[in-house]
Amino acid sequence: MKVVIIGGVAGGATAAARIRRLDESAEIIIFERSGYISYANCGLPYYVGGVIEDRGELTLQTPESFRERFRIDVKVRHEVTAIDTEKKTVTVRALDAGSEFAESYDRLLIATGARPVVPNMPGVELENVFSLRTVEDAVKIRGYIEKNAPRSAVIAGGGYIGVEMAENLIEAGLSVTIVQQMDQLLAPFDADMASLIHAELKRHGAVLKFGSTVAGFEKSGDGVKTFVEGEAPMVSDIVILAIGVAPDTALAKKAGLELGIRGSIAVNEKMETSAPDVYAVGDAVQVKSAVTGENTLISLAGPANKQGRIAADNICGGQSRFKGSMGSSVIKLFDMTLATTGINEKTAAELGIDTEKVVLSPASHASYYPGAESMVMKVICDKKTQRLLGAQIVGGSGVDKRIDVLAAAIHAGMTGPELKELDLAYAPPYSSAKDPVNMAGFMFENVFGGLLKQFHYDEVSELPRDGSVTLLDTRTRGEYARGHIDGFVNIPVDELRERIGEIPERKTVYVMCQSGLRSYIACRLLEQRGFDCRNLSGGYGFYSAVMKDRKAAREAYPCGMEKSE
């Protein structure tokens, strides 16, 4: 059996190694148009920023090491330009030699990945306008920075690459402006959770321009002038294009393969395309959401590696199947960790799923043990079935651990209340006896069991201030003095029993504290005295972070925000 693989990195290289482990006699050839066969593209921003000093550290395998260990023929700087599915051949161009040749195959695997979206606008070809996808791109950007010592950068786009590049450029001493067409960064996060991300970037000096559309670039001295629709142009020393990625499927389309959403390659669970003996994996393919069953695109290394393994199994006669992806991801941002899995509240609404959510702010480990850091967790359930749909966490240490537990719970089809049953490891340096994931389960149990009725930050402004309801702030007097919501009366929770006569009867009581815990205690006390209570989800801390972010964005770019919303 002769297997030709187009593309290395995650999917292609993984598949090649797996095929060899399954079939020692197979002839395996990889064609990779870049100069690297298997590299850590997730580490590229950190090489640009100097966190990873040696670019050799990015290379997981070389053509020589791959051949030595697996006897796989790796041809870098070779670009496949055409696929003939009837003759079962590919046309290959040797980029350095400039020659072309045909290569036959018995099985073909397409792992062409995704390409950066480079808009068709003036100035994208300027020497200090960059995109980042390959090791060569990273070397080019870092080389330019080391040679020219730029002091400012504009980043067009606020996805994962844009945010990681912002962090690394700021750490390298550049002033950074992110221009984003949406009204938030990092689309997998809901807008409320993204507020915490915006605050961290601003704390480190980043300027965020939302609702802004880049229209082109122009050389300006040694720098670049970035034109933004309806706004004054900006001048910076460099520009990073991080507008997003799109499936790199020109080959598949030219070969007549069936395509899916956004031009991706349509595959079945076995990673088979519409052509016999042709498989496809990675960022180029359409997959199913493991949460909703909907077709989607997920450009992440984890799913690509799994797909490569599954395709290899089936190429060798197996029956492996890819059951879909939840898009679990984690990203470092200065001293914070940002993580998400499953779908967010916005996606659920677009799909017509009625959701319930809990927002909590637990510590990473026992608060009495030194070094505990806070995190904000938002966990989402299907209101009808109580099945877990997704989670987002922003905070310090321990975020990655909790998102992985929640990803496993979603994969297992657990409900929100069932999180309380998970038997999770505990010691003071690592967690609390009630782990944050367990706490989310307790909260869902209370919500679905009727012990906890909630209201959310986006309902606060609509609450009547005419005395028809009671608005109660149960924080300490000091906390209240440092900031509070208009109309809320302060009665600290520890004084509530003695001062309960100050709360009018037969009126719904909307209760808040800093994180939602003290106000929940107050609600339970009041409910048992005959009051109808609602608890502010996430508390004043979450509310104030979201409101501060939205106020700042509207003040800075009122027209842009209106347009983007």
Active-site positions read 42
Quickly count: other Cβ atoms within 10 Å of residue 455's Cβ.
18
Cα separation, 395 vs 189, whole angstroms = 14
Instruction: From 376, 374, 373, 380, select the one nearest 394 (Cα to Cα).
Output: 376
Instruction: Check residue 369 and report its DSSP letter.
Output: S
| Single-letter residue type at 432 | S
Q: Please enumerate in sequence order all residues whose Cβ is within 8 A of that of 391, keeping only pairs 6 or more positions apart, or say none.
A: 340, 341, 342, 377, 378, 379, 380, 403, 406, 407, 410, 440
Instruction: From 412, 264, 251, select the one nearest 326 (Cα to Cα).
Output: 412
CA torsion, ordered 417, 418, 419, 424, to nearest 10 deg: 150
Cα separation, 23 vs 454, whole angstroms = 58
Q: E strands along 271-374, which residues?
A: 278-280, 287-288, 295-296, 329-333, 336-342, 355-360
Cα separation, 116 vs 160, whole angstroms = 12
Cα separation, 67 vs 17, whole angstroms = 10
- Tell me the three state secondary structure of residue 232: coil
Instruction: Annotate 44-95 with DSSP letters as a single string.
Output: HHHHHTTSS--GGGGEEE-HHHHHHHH--EEEETEEEEEEETTTTEEEEEET
- The helix or strand, by DSSP H or E, that contains position 549, with its residue range, turns out to be helix 539-556
